[in-house]
Amino acid sequence: MGRILIVEDTRLMRDSLVDVLEAAGHEVVTADNGVQACEIVADGAAFDVIITDIIMPEMDGIQAILEIQTMQPEARIIAISGGSARMEKAQGLETARRLGAVAVLEKPFEVDALLAAVESALA
Amino acid sequence: MTVSTRGALNAVHWADRDAHVAAIHRSALSMSRCLEAFRAVTAEGETRWFRGSSSPVRAEDGTIVWEGAWIDISPWMRAEHQFQTVMDHAEDCILTLDARNGIDWANAATERLFGWSLDELLGRCLADLLSEPCRPDAPGQLSECLAGEIIQCFPRGTQEVMAKRKDGVAFPFEMTVSEVRSDGRLSLIVIGRDITRRKATELMLEESERRLRSIAANLPGVVFQRVLDPDGTFAYPYVSEGIEEILGCEPSDIVFDSAILFDTMVDEDRERLLASLLVSAETLEPVREDVRVQGRDGRIRWLRGQSRPRRRDDIIVWDGLLLDVTEEVEERMKAEAAIRESEERLRLAFAAASLGIVVSRLDGTIQQVNPAFQTMCGLTGEDLAGQSIQRFVDGHLPARGDLPASGESFCFIHEPSLPDGRERHWRVTGTQFSASRDDPDPSLLFMIEDVTEVTRAAEERRQLELALQEGHKLEALGRLAGGVAHELNNMLGPILMAAEMVSRTAALDDRNQDRVGRIIEAAKHGRDIVRNVLAYCRKEQKTLGAVDLVPVFVQFAGLASSILPPTVKVETRVGADTAMVTGDGGQITQVLLNLVNNARDAMDGHGFLLLALELVPAGTLAPPRRSSGRANPFKDLDPSLAHVRITIADSGHGMAPETVAKIFDPFFTTKPVGQGTGLGLSVVQGIIKAMGGAVAVDSAPGEGTAFHIVLPVLPPEPIRAITS
């Protein structure tokens, strides 16, 4: 089982992720946006997997990925996105993938898809 | 006449009877010879003159008997009478001079002309009648005069002198002096006449001729008279002086020998002229011929001869004018050559034109087509001969009455039905034209342009514009949908996941399992709907602000190597500490990321990538060596401002100019569907343009590609005075 940081601004989404991952036996920490996530990472907390939304206030996922990678180059990142008016969901995810995300998921996704991505990230 | 022994007195004309009887009485008284002269009337009533004489003899009984003879002098008397009548009625003055030049006889005309009576004239010297003293002019005549007893003599023959009348008025007088010798006596007969009128006429004629000669001499050409003698030879009795200027010979040369003129003519022209002259002599129609002559200066000149014939006895006389028309003819020949040249050019243009050209009658019957039209319609000239243009213009041709006037044209575009069934678009421009002003049968000229490609391109463009308009609508819709979708997805996620988590608990009975299943199904269905809507989602422009490009660039450069294979060498150059621009850091990162992705794809995993940021000082902005398209990509920038330039240059396969020209077009991609970031270069350009900058590309096949992003640098913030 792994230690997972969830970066997600939408509360219901964040809670669902926590629900699913904790049910699967993972240890989960949450952040409401990129800024919080960076702070958590900067504090030295280590995570096996970081699941981040792309479109968030304060600092979006792409920037968060870039920031986190500077602090933890080995971080295994899963990007999730529901898209936005600014960016099509696939674009954000593609950018994340290019930036090194090990998996990307389009919202909404099934429980099994999430678990499978996390499993492969942990492997 | 009754003559008897009793006497002939009855026969004597009554007028002479008394004188006759008186003469007889005188003779009887004096017994001297009786001279008899009388007129008698014959039995036929004819008057005859008799002259005679008789001698009286006194008989013993006292009777006197005359013995004599009468001679019929009627012929002589008649001649005398006739002479007198002639003299009296003669218009000319006739006078005779005696040996001393004194007038011893003059006729009535002399009296009338000079105003002297005969009595006054008689004995007067002839010289008194002349206003200038008339002297013997020639020694020869003088000597002859001396031979006779004439003291002063007048020249023999005809001469014109000035005479004067009794009242002193002088007048021209022509007189003929001839000498007559009779009975060994020399006398002069002078016959003369007043020639005032003739002199005036002569003067007029002289003046007229002088005038004509003067006119002839001043005419720009040669006035001539030509005659054709019955023996078939031509002569020029008169040629004006102008000939000298043209041929260099005197008019008299030609008058003397017409061959001189004919010999100067070019052979074929001379033959033609002679033939025309013979025809003219026959028909008496005017001749007009242009002939070439070679003057003494060797120059060939064109002479135009015009003459009108008339018949005079058995010769033909032409009066005419010869003009030097060299300049005119040369001009005309030059003009004709120019027309021929122009025609040749037109013919060439007709043959070589890429436009189809058709000439038809007003009813559309094809008269002439050029090769281009034959190619356009796939038919040969023979196929087309006699066909109607209507076949190709399908009723677009205006009716005869509706045709625009000559010089105006009509134009239409249509799809002709061609033998090979190809779909073509023709733009047909037609115009009515006439070969000459009063051409009763004008023609139609058609210029036919195959505009298939143009109309097709226009149609594509129209479609594209429609698509763009549609795209704009979709973009707005997409922006809206994107926002909604994001929220919805964030809601659908928890629903889906929560429902799935619920469905995994064993506690649910079948009915509740069904219910949770419906929630999951509905969530998934909702997801599909959102996904479809999101397909339209497009990126939205952020509000722009001042951003320092340097940290954005440096940060991006740091991560660039991570998205490139290790076999690609990356070099980063940062030539500035700060570069404030109007923009958005995230968008700039997106743009750079997009360009680096393109570079990676162009390099196939191996090569060299340069990432450079440098300042472009004011006034030094220049487009790249091989700028995209024709226009300067930096034309919208103000070169007087300082700029910052980010260059992303790869060592990839480069692009052909035609690709370069299109890379900024929307929807243009060289990549397979599904690949790429989805941020087209058009969006890159749009983003940079929105920031007030420009994107330029510098590329050639095999030489890699460089993208230059140029943004105007914001001036430094003014320092605000800080007050406490």
Mean pLDDT score, B301-322: 90
Asked if A109 lies within 8 A of B493 by C-beta distance, the reply is: yes
Tokens representing B189 are 């007969």
Looking at the complex, does the CB of residue A19 fall below 8 Å from at least one CB of chain B? yes
DSSP element (H, E) containing B466? helix B452-503
Alpha carbon separation from B313 to B227, B229, B237 (Å, rounded): 11, 10, 16
Q: Which residue has the tokens 């200066």?
A: B297
Flag if A85 and B495 touch (Cβ within 8 Å): no
Q: Predicted confidence band at B631 (pLDDT cuts at 50, 70, 90)?
A: low
CB neighbour burial string for A3-38, b if at least 16 within 10 angstroms, e if fewer: ebbbbbbbeebbbbbbbbbeebebebebbbbbbbbb
State how far the Cα of A19 lies from the Cα of B488, in Å rounded to an integer: 20
pLDDT digit string (tens) for B370-410?
Answer: 888 888 888 888 888 888 888 777 777 777 777 777 778 88
Residues of A in contact with B540 (CB under 8 A): 84-86
Q: Going by DSSP bridges, is the β-strand pair A3-7/A27-31 parallel, antiparallel, or unpaired?
A: parallel
Find, among A82, B652, B100, B215, the residue nearest to A93 by Cα: A82
Q: How far is A51 from chain B (nearest CA, A)?
A: 14
pLDDT exceeds 60 at position B182: yes
Note whether A83 contacts B537, CB cutoff 8 Å. Answer: yes
Q: Which residue has the tokens 């913030």?
A: B717
The verdict on A12 touching B (C-beta cutoff 8 Å) is yes
Residue B50: φ, ψ to 5°: -130, 145
Report which of B202, B201, B129 is spatially closest to residue B171, judged by C-alpha positions: B129
Task: Tell me: pLDDT of B72 over 90.
Answer: no
Distance, in angstroms, between A100 CA and closest chain B CA?
A: 8
Diameter of chain B by CA atoms?
235
pLDDT of residue A114: 93
Question: What confidence score (pLDDT) does residue A21 get?
Answer: 93
* Highest-confidence segment of A20-29, B342-351, B453-462: A20-29
Distance from CA of A108 to the nearest CA of B (A): 4
CB contacts of A110 in chain B (<8 Å) are: 496-497, 500, 524
CB contact under 8 A, A86 and B542: yes
Whether the per-residue pLDDT at B331 is higher than 60: the answer is yes
Nearest to B576 by CA among B532, B612, B621: B612
Query: Closest to B493 (Cβ–Cβ): which among A99, A107, A112?
Result: A107
Residue B156 pLDDT: 79
Rounded CA-CA distance A57/B105 in Å is 163
From the list B482, B527, B589, the residue facing A85 with the nearest CB is B482
Min CA distance, B569 vs chain A (Å)?
A: 18
- C-beta atoms of A91 and B679 within 8 A: yes
What is the tens place of the pLDDT at every residue in B49-58?
Answer: 888 888 888 8
pLDDT in tens, B101-114: 788 888 888 888 88
pLDDT at B536: 43
Question: Per-residue pLDDT averaged across B620-624, rounded?
Answer: 80
Q: What is the pLDDT of residues B135-147, one digit of tens each?
A: 444 443 443 444 4
Residues in chain A with CB shorter than 8 Å from the CB of B542 are 86
Is it the case that residue B274 has pLDDT exceeding 70?
yes
| Mean pLDDT, all residues of chain B | 81
In 3D, which of A91, A108, A89, A104 has the Cα closest to residue B528?
A: A108
**What is the average pLDDT across B315-334?**
88
- Cβ-defined contact of A16 to B534 (cutoff 8 Å): no
3-state helix, strand, coil in chain A (%, to 5): 45, 20, 35
Confidence of residue B477 (pLDDT cuts 50, 70, 90): low
The CA–CA distances, whole Å, from B636 to B544, B587, B640 equal 19, 21, 12
**How far does A45 lie from chain B, in Å, by closest CA?**
23
Q: Which residues of B touch A86 (CB under 8 A)?
A: 482, 539-540, 542
Find where tokens 């008057």 sit.
B47
3-state helix, strand, coil in chain B (%, to 5): 40, 30, 30
- Report pLDDT for B471: 55
The answer to whether the beta carbons of residues B168 and B145 sit under 8 Å apart is no
Distance CA A50, CA A47 (A): 7
Mean pLDDT by 10 residues, chain A (123 residues): 92 90 93 92 91 87 87 89 64 82 89 92 88
CA of B455, closest CA in chain A: separation in Å? 37
Please judge whether B497 and A69 are an interchain contact, meaning their C-beta atoms are less than 8 angstroms apart: no
Mean pLDDT lowest among B93-97, B658-662, B718-722? B718-722
Chain B CB within 8 Å of residue A67 CB: no
Contact between B488 and A106 using a beta-carbon 8 Å cutoff: no
**Which region among A1-10, B315-324, B421-430 has the lowest average model confidence (pLDDT)?**
B421-430
Of the listed ranges B1-15, B290-304, B360-374, B399-413, the one predicted with least confidence: B1-15
Name B238's bridge partners.
Answer: B225
Residue among A15, A85, A112 whose CB faces B494 most closely = A15
Do the Cβ atoms of A108 and B492 come within 8 Å?
A: yes
Is there a contact between B491 and A12 if contact means CB atoms under 8 Å apart? yes
Which residue is closest to A12 within chain B, CA to CA? B494
The secondary element (H helix, E strand) that includes residue B643 is strand B643-650
Quick one: DSSP state of residue B99? T
End-to-end Cα spacing for chain B = 187
Contacts of residue A78 in chain B, CB cutoff 8 Å?
none
Q: Do A69 and B562 touch (CB under 8 A)?
A: yes
Strands (DSSP E) contained in B20-76 are: 34-41, 47-58, 64-72
Mean pLDDT, residues B43-54 taken together: 85
What's the pLDDT score for residue A83? 67
CB contact under 8 A, A108 and B539: no
Length of chain A: 123
DSSP string covering B656-701? -HHHHTTTTSTT--SSPTT-S-S--HHHHHHHHHHTT-EEEEEE-T
ipTM over 0.90: no
CB within 8 Å of B262: residues ≥ 6 apart: B234, B270, B274
pLDDT at B720 over 60: no
pLDDT band, very low/low/confident/very high, at B479 (cuts 50, 70, 90): low
Count of residues making up chain B? 724
* Rounded mean pLDDT, B449-454: 83
Q: What is the mean pLDDT of residues B696-709?
A: 89
Beta-carbon separation of A66 and B555 below 8 A: yes
CB < 8 Å to A95, chain B? 590, 593, 677
3 state SS of B225: strand
Least confident of B540-544, B599-603, B606-610, B634-638: B540-544
Q: Is the pTM of this model over 0.80?
A: no
Residue type at B459 in one-letter notation? E
**In this predicted structure, which of B75-84, B489-498, B559-568 has the lowest mean pLDDT?**
B559-568
